[in-house]
Amino acid sequence: MSAGSIGDAPVRPIAILGGTGPAGMGLALRWARAGESVIIGSRDAQRAQLAAVAIEQKAGTPVRVRGMENSAACGAADILMLTVPFEAQASLLKQLRPAMTAGSILIDATVPLAAGVGGRASRTLGVWQGSAAQQAAELVPEEVSVVAAFHNVSAELLFADAALDCDVIVCSDDPDASQLTRELAAKIPGVRAVDGGKLENARIVEQITALLIGMNIRHKGHAGIRITGLPPGAYR
Ligand SMILES: NC(=O)c1ccc[n+]([C@@H]2O[C@H](COP(=O)([O-])OP(=O)(O)OC[C@H]3O[C@@H](n4cnc5c(N)ncnc54)[C@H](OP(=O)(O)O)[C@@H]3O)[C@@H](O)[C@H]2O)c1
């Protein structure tokens, strides 16, 4: 399966829910530059449209990017990327659930940072289900596959021009959804995608982000991770 497009068929749009923040804008820019059709979602349609204009301007070349209110974005795509703070994740998914179509893929980048409840950004919160991604899986319709990915990528580096230098660990219980997500990750220059196994492994990947944030604070940088020692076929 080719991410976003199949043969000569029209490109499948990617809806980035909560896409007006740094993580969503960074992914939108990179995927738009890679030729994907991107819909920025927001609680406010006008904010989404302004974000889409900002992506067009930053891209510097013609790109396919639109802005919509989150529910409309959800209904217009079957590849859904969720980039909201942990404290907004459950309520937004409950609200969007009726707009999700069967067979959709929800890629979740949520990190349950303690900062959401007044704690440190370098610490995480316990999530009853084990991870934010597993919480998401409980909240979406059964026919929607959840994938955990992009937790360890700097939004600031994404919303820039240089190639990145990091890997994206992708976890899901749906092998096809995992593969599609790895293909999308590999469209970002300098990013390799690695199959991280089942969705339950998201609990480890989400924790790594807190560690990286601590390193960023300590060293004033934009840390990412590389997985080494696997055969070449393990990297996408
Ligand atoms: N920033 C990074 O470098 C990075 C890297 C990897 C993963 N992540 C994770 O990705 C997610 C997004 O990160 P971010 O830094 O882009 O977050 P953010 O700027 O705090 O929020 C992203 C967007 O979420 C929407 N939002 C905020 N509160 C909401 C609420 N109560 N209900 C519904 N929507 C709400 C807002 O969009 P509207 O106001 O337009 O609706 C906002 O622009 C987080 O879970 C973060 O942990 C971030």
64, containing H or E segment? strand 64-69
Residue nearest to atom 48 of ligand 1 (CA): 23
pLDDT for the residue numbered 3: 45
Give the ligand 1 atom nearest the CA of 86.
Answer: 45
Q: Which of 7, 8, 71, 57 is nearest to 28 (CA)?
A: 57
Q: What is the DSSP letter of 184?
A: H
CA distance 216 to 99: 37
pLDDT for the residue numbered 1: 38
Rg (CA), the chain: 16
Contact between 135 and 191 under an 8 Å Cβ cutoff? The reply is: no
pLDDT for the residue numbered 10: 59
pLDDT for the residue numbered 84: 98
CA of 186 to the centre of ligand 1 (A): 22
CA of 230 to the centre of ligand 1 (A): 32
CA of 18 to the centre of ligand 1 (A): 6
Give the ligand 1 atom nearest the CA of 110.
Answer: 45
CA of 12 to the centre of ligand 1 (A): 23
pLDDT for the residue numbered 5: 43
pLDDT for the residue numbered 4: 44
CA of 26 to the centre of ligand 1 (A): 12
pLDDT for the residue numbered 130: 98
Q: Which of 194, 189, 196 is nearest to 165 (CA)?
A: 189
| Interacting residues of 119 by C-beta distance below 8 A, sequence separation 6+ | 113, 125
Pocket of ligand 1 (CB under 6 A): 18, 20-24, 42-44, 47, 83-86, 88, 92, 109-111, 113, 150-151, 153-155, 209
Q: Which of 124, 136, 114 is nearest to 200 (CA)?
A: 136
Contact between 3 and 30 under an 8 Å Cβ cutoff? The reply is: no
Q: What is the strand order of the sheet 79-82 is part of?
A: 64-69, 37-42, 14-17, 79-82, 105-108, 145-148, 166-172, 191-195
CA distances, 194 to each of 112, 148, 149, 184 (Å): 22, 12, 10, 12
CA of 21 to the centre of ligand 1 (A): 5
Residue 64 burial by Cβ neighbours in a 10 Å radius (0-12, 13-18, 19+):
middle
Q: Which of 209, 206, 161 is nearest to 188 (CA)?
A: 161
Q: Residue 225 in 3-state DSSP? A: coil
- Positions of the chain with pLDDT lower than 70, given as ranges: 1-10
pLDDT for the residue numbered 117: 87
Give the ligand 1 atom nearest the CA of 24.
Answer: 16
